[in-house]
Structure 1
């Protein structure tokens, strides 16, 4: 596969890697290969993202690539001077060949568990089935929302966002090969309500401008 395509997948989901102590299955990017596609998936429990690429002949396998190895691949992609990347699944993990360099990923079966290796599909399917039906305001973390921004200067900045309810995840897509879920926050007691915001801005929004 192309180095740039693989690096773009990793960049698309890297910001969503978890770092919560004890949840080592979240501390990297889950790579899933099957049916001629490669998926890169990351989650911190509050967001889930998946980026896919058509990759004929990729085989069927999955592996957890820790954050350090993700960063090593991204560094190599910038300096290797080649457009070819080869991913070789071995009995003990994954070897990424870029030019004359390699990044080895050990298969941490005991760490990656079943989440998000399988659960992300269930959650995405449920959010898609619910469809757009958001008819009330919802509260989200602005930093987690910002993590969904495009990671390439050449990529369009357009994103599509919808939700099915104020307590359900927002669905965030860029094109048809990137999808993410953003979990809502619980409304705090110290923040303004919708009525507070309306009262604060109503006169400015409807009053004279000159």
Structure 2
């Protein structure tokens, strides 16, 4: 059971910002891999953001189906042995199913004469959150963001790794309490949960609702009839 992956480093780069760092959550301390029907699906989450991407892959045998989890140590080993300048040639990835002697199964990465053997972490991979119903619900909901929504800017920055500098990112949400949907092309999807605002004076984080923000800026935004209006061009 082996496949050929042509852009593993880009895939890892897209998902790494979303890996959980909580030591008590080993099932999400890495990148989850699924292979089914000639397609590789990779996902990562820390429960606040969730990112999924997929690739068509070349299979060398009959279509296979398996799951694995690459933890941070595995990802470091991959980057070290297969740097980006060489990994673009196409890594061959083989999966060894779990056995009594090796209940976690194995992954074998090959490129020319370089070979890296890793655990498939089958136990943790089997407990990775089911992403399909979560994303299906988000995609089926119609965009409807008529009230202000609040998002953590540190989490928003994670999506920069999903796209190139000049690749547009599509965003929408079904409401201020629904996840923000992030799409890059047709092979990357992400979800970011909004911030729960605690409006008690001694709790929560500083924020402003739409009315208070407008009031705070109104004295600086009074129209000046003598000055021409500024128009921003659409981004290239």
Q: TM-score, normalised by structure 1?
A: 0.89
User: Tell me, which stretches of 5 or more residues in structure 1 are unaligned?
Assistant: none
One of 86, 103, 112 as aligned partner of 2:92 = 86
Q: Secondary structure at the match of 2:160?
A: coil
In 2, Cα distance between equivalents of 1:140 and 1:83: 39
Q: Number of matched residues? A: 206
Aligned to 1:111: 124
The answer (yes or no) to whether the contact 1:81–1:99 under 8 Å persists in 2 is no
Q: Which moved more, 1:57-66 or 1:32-41?
A: 57-66
User: Tell me, which stretches of 5 or more residues in structure 2 are unaligned?
Assistant: 98-104, 200-205, 228-236
One of 38, 43, 46 as aligned partner of 1:44 = 46
Aligned to 1:187: 197
**Shift, 1:147, TM fit:** 0.2
| Shift in alpha-carbon separation, 1:131–1:61, aligned structure 2, 3 A | same
Aligned to 1:169: 179
In 2, Cα distance between equivalents of 1:2 and 1:13: 16
The answer (yes or no) to whether the contact 1:41–1:49 under 8 Å persists in 2 is yes
Aligned to 2:14: 12
The answer (yes or no) to whether the contact 2:5–2:57 under 8 Å persists in 1 is no
| Shift in alpha-carbon separation, 1:151–1:103, aligned structure 2, 3 A | farther
Q: Point out the structure with max Rg over C-alpha.
A: 2
Are 1:77 and 2:83 matched, yes or no? yes
Q: Which moved more, 1:39-48 or 1:142-151?
A: 142-151
**Shift, 1:201, TM fit:** 1.7
In 1, Cα distance between equivalents of 2:87 and 2:57: 21
Aligned to 1:102: 115
**Shift, 1:89, TM fit:** 0.2
In 2, Cα distance between equivalents of 1:148 and 1:70: 19
Any idea what the Cα deviations from partners look like across 1:173-199, whole Å, max 9, x if unmatched?
000000000011111434222222111
In 2, Cα distance between equivalents of 1:45 and 1:161: 19
Q: Which moved more, 1:187-196 or 1:138-147?
A: 187-196
In 2, Cα distance between equivalents of 1:104 and 1:194: 54
The answer (yes or no) to whether the contact 1:11–1:151 under 8 Å persists in 2 is yes
Aligned to 1:23: 25
Are 1:198 and 2:200 matched, yes or no? no
Are 1:60 and 2:65 matched, yes or no? yes
Aligned to 1:127: 138
In 2, Cα distance between equivalents of 1:47 and 1:82: 28
In 2, Cα distance between equivalents of 1:120 and 1:81: 28
**Shift, 1:202, TM fit:** 2.5
